[in-house]
Structure 1
Amino acid sequence: MESSAEKLRGLTITSLDEEEDEPELPHRSPSAAGGIGAGYEDEDDDEEEEEAEVTLGFLEKPKHPGLLLRHLFPSKAGGIPAWLDPVNLPSGNSRCCGFCGEPLQFALQIYAPLEDNSAAFHRTLFMFMCPSMACLLRDQHEQWKHRQGSPCRSVKVFRCQLPRSNAFYSSEPPKHNSSDKPLCPGVPASKSWPEYEIAIDYEGAFDSDSCDESNSKSLVMQRPGKPDDMMQSWMDQFEADADNKCWASFQERISRAPKQVLRYCRESNAKPLWALSAGCPSNADIPSCSYCKGPLCYEFQIMPQLLYYFGVKNEPDSLDWATVVVYTCQGSCNQNVSYMEEFAWVQELADIVCAHFD
């Protein structure tokens, strides 16, 4: 099948202030390409199974705010959600931090319909998180307790899906109208991160032989504010540690496209890209679907560069992570619940520091 994403120019991140002068990126939006992950048909089933193809997400300022309206099924980060079901929204404590009780901030949403599931003709995943690093640290400990009950969380992911025939959208492809106005009830705009469109490209479009090693450092090092000496210290020591294959692999993969904020792959052989073995869940640590009790599967992960675009400063108490990995119901079950909560696993940079220096 012909690729649904155009080639991306390899660009090195310098600073947010310089982005306006950069040439326009030739990504295609996920909605225009049928959603993130669309087009993954195996062209030769007889060949030996290869590594799963990963779709990368990059942030761009939208050319027009109307492009991010819900009826265009956008994939976006920051701002306010473009709810797929605009009526039956998550409510009450489901949209609040389990630790501080404050409303969670919208991080991103991914339009990811499933061709083989008629109930998921339209399907969007929404991620929310508390901006408090103290809450995220507590969340990291609570996630290990998932088998013991319902832990408190500061990171929540909701899945919403609709069949082709539904009460909100026509079965015909949407048309953009520049006069359309955003509509998103129930979310305070005053508490939001900067808004971006998520554009996609395949990881295979980037040449691993030409990647710049320094680019991988920028993913976790480059933030507004003063450099973090502790971060630089342990990164330098990682480089001298020949046994740390996981960290080396993480650096190599992200250096191919250092602007990536998202990695998506729902194929059966897909695996998350972990920064280190410390803080990784075992199969037993991943719970079953809380609705149908079926297995969860890896679907996507967000990368620390997202914090750079959100303007999170590199300070001791600032929000930070190595990656946040999301597992969703393998069957994408339909339980007559508009927004079903999925499972997120947080791997923090503190895990890496402790694992290396303890």
Structure 2
Amino acid sequence: MSSDDGYQSDSDMSVDSPSVGGKTSVLLGYPDEPADETASALDTRIGGVPIWLNPSSPPSANLAKCKACKSLMTLLLQAYAALEGTLYERVIYVFACKNAACRRRAGSVRAFRGIMRDQDKMQAVADQQKKEKERRKMKAGAGAGMTAMVEQSRSQQVDIGNMLFGDGFGDGARAFGDGAHAAEVSGNSPATLLDDVEQVSESLQRTKIDITHRLDAAINHQTPLEPWPPAEELESYKSWFLCVESEYLTNKTADQNINQRIEILEAGTSGHGNDGPDEWSALPESSSNIDKVFQNFADTVSDNPEQVVRYERKGSPLLYSKTDEIGKLLINKNAGHYQNNLIPHCELCGSVRVFELQLMPYMIQILEEDSGIDIFNGMEWGTIIVATCKNDCVPSIIDKNGVGYQDEWVGVQWEETK
């Protein structure tokens, strides 16, 4: 890529191409079990009330206020989404206004990103640097003794990598992220292995210095923040932990009738009732009036109809429509496909934003089924797309606890109206 302005995701692709079978790079979130008092800021949940990275460091309540009616909105999603190679925790919050008069109005759905400097991770890097410095003094060793030392270094390096970056997100996890993996060293000879260890060590030190400088530079005099009401006074939906699994798709052809997909959706069971996703019951009988983008959306969702979140940072969103405001914004008219650089850029650093996650319509049924809300008066979006700064830049204010929050971009594709 030549510049941020020309940045395109490796996943930029035709938005109406049929699904290809097999495992994809997307992580899916499914309702798992009701969230309870054990929930923490680093659990991925839908519904409930927000849990802040530090109880003493809430964001300004203004970040979660509807831009239309100015009232405090309701939490839809809190997603733990740590990034590889960073020394801070990271969470995405998504809120929506429950005021019926605000539906389809700009600013009635908002998202922000929270980060918290992780002192334990930073100390782990410092400790590892000290150990590596001591090992370099032993470089004059040779033979089996040297090989054993390098193998020990390899093992310890993997341990520190796991400590810093996590050990990935497998089936059944409750977190989203880049699929963070421990740093690896390679090569056959002891000298090569040790050189690699030194390179990784130096890289970790540069990361520590860079992140420390970025966070320290962002700490400034705290401006007055709009306070939040007590948690017990916040309006909320029932909260569910999410189980995170990789997406698997079956092979489909472009000319398959959309009604086959709808039948699968309607037949799906959630474990929270015997009815399938209600949002699909009003779809037309014929596919003749359904555009290819929506057909691809329905085809893809039909393989995993109980998904409530799709996560693929720097990937491509599954668009609900190409004819609405968001579809027209994100699809390059000449190339005919989605491009990240069409998303409004980060207001803080000017970098492009990249797709991070999207909320799926089955979430509406899960959140509203026990809320007493009439389905005709409830939420009516097709998908909610969240994009974040490609550089994951530091929020404008980091407080004394190393915590900061930053508003991010949301694109809502509403249900079609007849």
* Residues 1:67 and 2:35 are matched in the alignment: no
Identity of counterpart residues, as a percentage? 24
Query: Equivalences for 1:10-25 in 2 at 5 Å?
Result: none
> 1:258 corresponds to which letter in structure 2?
P
**Could you say what secondary structure the match of 1:115 adopts?**
coil
TM superposition shift of 1:162:
2.2
**2:413 paired residue number:** 347
**2:239 paired residue number:** 195
* Residues 1:311 and 2:283 are matched in the alignment: no
* Residues 1:272 and 2:322 are matched in the alignment: no
TM superposition shift of 1:133:
3.5
Query: Equivalences for 1:36-115 in 2 at 5 Å?
Result: 53-62=25-34, 65-70=36-41, 73-115=42-84
**2:102 paired residue number:** 135
Residue 231 and residue 76 in structure 1: after superposition, are their counterparts in 2 closer, same or farther (change >3 A)?
closer
2:266–2:280 CA contact under 8 A, matched in 1: no
1:54–1:202 CA contact under 8 A, matched in 2: yes
> 2:350 corresponds to which letter in structure 1?
K
> Which string of whole-angstrom CA distances, capped at 9 and with x for unpartnered residues, describes residues 174-194 of structure 1?
9xxxxxxxxx97434551000
Counterpart pick for 2:307 among 260, 269, 280: 260
1:67–1:74 CA contact under 8 A, matched in 2: no
Instruction: Name stretches of at least 5 consecutive residues in structure 1 with no aligned partner.
Output: 1-49, 140-152, 175-183
1:54–1:263 CA contact under 8 A, matched in 2: yes
Structure with more of its chain in helix, by fraction: 2
Instruction: Name stretches of at least 5 consecutive residues in structure 2 with no aligned partner.
Output: 1-21, 126-162, 167-227, 253-259, 331-338, 398-403
> 1:332 corresponds to which letter in structure 2?
D
2:384–2:413 CA contact under 8 A, matched in 1: yes
> 2:48 corresponds to which letter in structure 1?
G
* Residues 1:248 and 2:315 are matched in the alignment: no
Question: Which is higher, the Rg of structure 1 or of structure 2?
Answer: 2
Residue 300 and residue 61 in structure 1: after superposition, are their counterparts in 2 closer, same or farther (change >3 A)?
same
Distance 2:82 2:311 in 1: 13
**Could you say what secondary structure the match of 1:274 adopts?**
coil
Residue 208 and residue 66 in structure 1: after superposition, are their counterparts in 2 closer, same or farther (change >3 A)?
farther
> 2:59 corresponds to which letter in structure 1?
P
Distance 2:378 2:311 in 1: 26
**1:302 paired residue number:** 359
TM-score by length of 2: 0.56
Distance 1:230 1:78 in 2: 18
* Residues 1:165 and 2:116 are matched in the alignment: no
CA-atom RMSD, angstroms? 3.7
**2:347 paired residue number:** 290
> 1:93 corresponds to which letter in structure 2?
N
Residue 135 and residue 256 in structure 1: after superposition, are their counterparts in 2 closer, same or farther (change >3 A)?
same
Q: Number of aligned pairs?
A: 265
**Could you say what secondary structure the match of 1:216 adopts?**
helix
Residue 164 and residue 56 in structure 1: after superposition, are their counterparts in 2 closer, same or farther (change >3 A)?
same
**1:142 paired residue number:** none
TM superposition shift of 1:290:
1.4
> 1:197 corresponds to which letter in structure 2?
F
Which of 90-99 and 246-255 deviates more? 90-99
**Could you say what secondary structure the match of 1:94 adopts?**
helix
1:208–1:256 CA contact under 8 A, matched in 2: no
TM-score by length of 1: 0.64
2:320–2:383 CA contact under 8 A, matched in 1: yes
**Could you say what secondary structure the match of 2:119 adopts?**
coil
1:80–1:189 CA contact under 8 A, matched in 2: no
**1:149 paired residue number:** none
**Could you say what secondary structure the match of 1:123 adopts?**
strand
**2:15 paired residue number:** none
> Which string of whole-angstrom CA distances, capped at 9 and with x for unpartnered residues, describes residues 278-308 of structure 1?
2212357521111111110000000111110
**1:330 paired residue number:** 390
> 2:288 corresponds to which letter in structure 1?
A
Higher relative contact order (CA 8 A, sep 6+): 2
2:279–2:361 CA contact under 8 A, matched in 1: no
Distance 1:162 1:91 in 2: 15
Query: Equivalences for 1:162-241 in 2 at 5 Å?
Result: 162-165=116-119, 186-189=230-233, 191-204=235-248, 207=250, 213-217=262-266, 234-237=283-286, 239-241=287-289
